Amino acid sequence: MNIKGHMLSLKVNEHHNDTSLSHFLRKEVSASKPIIHFWLKHQKVRLNQQPAYHAAKVSTGDNVTIDLFEFETSNVTPEYGDLDILFEDEHLLIVQKPAGRPTHPNEKGQTGTLANLVAFHYQANGEEKRVRHIHRLDQDTSGTVIFAKHRLAHAVLDQMLSKKMINRTYLAIAEGVFKKKRGTITAAIGRDKHHAVRRRISPTGQKAITHFQVMGVDKRRNITAVQLQLDTGRTHQIRVHLRSIGHPLVGDSLYGGMSNGITRCALHAKKVAMKHPFTGEHLIIEAPLPSDMVKLMEPIKH
Q: Which position has the higher pLDDT, 260 or 172?
A: 172
Whole-angstrom Cα distance, residue 24 to residue 36? 10
Mean pLDDT within 104-120: 94
Whole-angstrom Cα distance, residue 297 to residue 302? 10
Say whether pLDDT at 1 is over 80: no
Q: Is 227 helix (H, G, I), strand (E, B) or coil?
A: strand
Of the listed ranges 65-74, 97-106, 167-176, the one predicted with least confidence: 65-74
Element (H, E) at 212: strand 209-218
Q: pLDDT (tens digit, 9 = 90+) per residue, 239-295?
A: 999 999 999 999 999 998 888 889 999 999 999 999 999 999 999 999 999 999 999
Contact 39, 68 (CB under 8 A): no
The DSSP bridge partners found for residue 172 are 226, 267
Whole-angstrom Cα distance, residue 104 to residue 75? 11
Instruction: Map out the domains of the chain as residue ranges.
Output: 2-67, 71-163, 168-269
Mean pLDDT within 174-186: 95
CATH class in words for 2-67: alpha beta
- How much of the chain exceeds pLDDT 90, in percent? 75
Say whether pLDDT at 214 is over 90: yes
Which of left, alpha, beta for 5 (phi over 0: left; psi -120 to 50: alpha)?
left
pLDDT of residue 206: 95
Say whether pLDDT at 133 is over 90: yes
Mean pLDDT of the chain: 92
pLDDT of residue 193: 86
Q: Kindly compute the dihedral angle of the four CA atoms of residues 48, 50, 55, 60, in this order, to the nearest 10 degrees.
A: 0
pLDDT of residue 113: 96
Contact 249, 238 (CB under 8 A): yes
* 128 HSE (CA, 13 A, CB side): 4
Q: pLDDT (tens digit, 9 = 90+) per residue, 56-90?
A: 999 898 899 999 988 888 889 999 999 999 999 99
Cite the DSSP H helix spans in the chain: 21-29, 33-41, 114-124, 151-162, 237-244, 291-297
Q: How confident is the model at residue 174 (pLDDT cuts 50, 70, 90)?
A: very high
CA angle 113, 115, 116 (to 5 degrees): 70
pLDDT of residue 74: 87
Whole-angstrom Cα distance, residue 115 to residue 135? 12
Say whether pLDDT at 108 is over 80: yes
Report the helix count and the strand count for the chain, using DSSP H and E.
6, 19
Whole-angstrom Cα distance, residue 10 to residue 62? 8
Residue 251 identity (one-letter amino acid) = G
Q: How many CB atoms lie within 10 A of CB 204?
A: 6
Do the domains 168-269 and 2-67 match in fold? Answer: no
Q: Which position has the higher pLDDT, 286 or 53?
A: 286
Whole-angstrom Cα distance, residue 62 to residue 235? 46
The DSSP bridge partners found for residue 117 are none
Mean pLDDT within 88-102: 96
Phi and psi of 46, rounded to 5°? -125, 135
pTM: 0.90
Mean pLDDT within 106-113: 91
Residue 138 identity (one-letter amino acid) = D
Question: Annotated catalytic residue: which of 62, 138, 140, 252?
Answer: 138
Whole-angstrom Cα distance, residue 81 to residue 77? 13
71-163 has which fold? Pseudouridine synthase (3.30.2350)
Whole-angstrom Cα distance, residue 67 to residue 160? 22
Contact 204, 232 (CB under 8 A): no
pLDDT of residue 302: 67
168-269 has which fold? Pseudouridine synthase (3.30.2350)
Active site residue 67: no
